Amino acid sequence: MDYNRDYFKGKMAVVTGGASGIGLALAEELLKSNAAKVVIADINHANLVKEEARLKAAYGDRIKGILCDVTKEEEVKELVKLSLVYMEKRIDLLFNNAGVGFTGWFSELDNEDWEKAFALNFFSALYGMRAVLPVMIAQGGGQIINTISGIAFYPMAFQSRYAATKAALNSLTLALRYEYWDDNIKISAATPGTTATAIWGDNPIPAIAQTAEQSASRILNGVVNNDRLIFGDDSDAEGSVNCFDEAHREGVDQYLLDVARQRKKGVLAF
C-alpha cells in the first residue's frame, strides 16, 4: 500500500520488537521515508546486532539498536532515556510492537503462564507509554502506536491468553487516545493482519499471509491518517465489524466453533 512518506520526514522513532518481523519492517520503512533517526529495541541480541549492522550499512547513523527486555519497566525507562540521548531529546513516534502469539488450552495454563503473557503483550506497552508520555507532553506532542491483533475481535480457542492480552491492550489504547488528545498526542491500536513472521513458529504459514513489508506499509498509512484502529489487512477490518454484530452472530459462532473443533483435533485452523 502506498502512503504519504513525507509525513515521517525528520521524525524520531522508537520501535520495540524491532529486530525482526513487523517491527523490523516498520523500522526499515521509516528509514526509507526519511525519518531522522530510528531506534530498534529487542531482547534478541544476535538479531539486534545483525540488523543494526545491516541497516547502518544502508542508512548510516540514522539507526541504533538497543537491547531491552520490555517486560521489565526499569529497562523500558532506560530505553527511553538512551533513545532521547541518541535522538536529540525528542521522540516523535513510539511503536509498542513487541509481543508473542501465546497458545495453549485454558485448562493447562497456570497463573505463571498468564502473568508471562500479560507482561509481554500488555504491560510492556503500558510501560512504554508511561515512560514516553511525559516526554511527548513536554515537547508539545507525539504519536504512539500499540500493536494488537485481529484476535482482539475474533477470540479463538487455544489462544485465550493471546486474545485476552490483545483485547486488553486495545481497550487501554483507545481509552488513552482521548485522555491525551488535547495534549496533541495521537494514540492508535494497530493489527498486523495475517503476516508471514516468526510468530507462527513451527506451524505452517497461511497461504493468504502477506509480507511484513506489506503489513508495515498499511500500518504506516494508518499512522499518517491518525486512524483510531489501524487494520493490517481487510480480514481484520471485516472481523472487527462482524464479531460483535448480532446480525452476524450465528455465522461467527459457527466459524469460531469450527476452528475450536479442528484445533482440538490438532489442526491449527484459522
- What are the pLDDT digits (tens) for 197-225? 666 566 666 666 778 899 999 999 999 99
Matching residue, cell 519497566: 73
Strands 63-67 and 93-96: unpaired
Mean pLDDT of 156-172: 97
What was the pLDDT predicted at 198? Answer: 64
Mean pLDDT, residues 142-156: 96
Which residues are the active-site residues? 162
Res 1: pLDDT: 76
Using the CB atoms, write b or e for 118-143: b if 16+ within 10 Å. Answer: bbbbbbbbbbbbebbbebbeeeeebb
User: Which domains are assigned to the chain?
Assistant: 5-234 (3.40.50.720)
CA distance 93 to 127: 15
Cα(79)–Cα(76) distance, rounded to whole angstroms? 5
**Cell, residue 93:** 513516534
Stretch 68-86: mean pLDDT, rounded? 98
The pLDDT tens digits of the residues spanning 191-200 come to: 998 776 666 5
Query: CA 110 to CA 117: how far, in whole Å?
Result: 11
Q: Does this model's pTM top 0.75? A: yes
Residue 267 backbone zone (phi > 0: left; psi -120 to 50: alpha; other: beta): beta
* Residue 251 reports pLDDT greater than 60: yes
- Return the number of other C-beta atoms located less than 10 Å from residue 42's C-beta: 27
CA distances (Å), 138 to each of 36, 85, 134, 175, 270, in order?
Answer: 20, 16, 6, 21, 44
Higher pLDDT, residue 42 or 2? 42
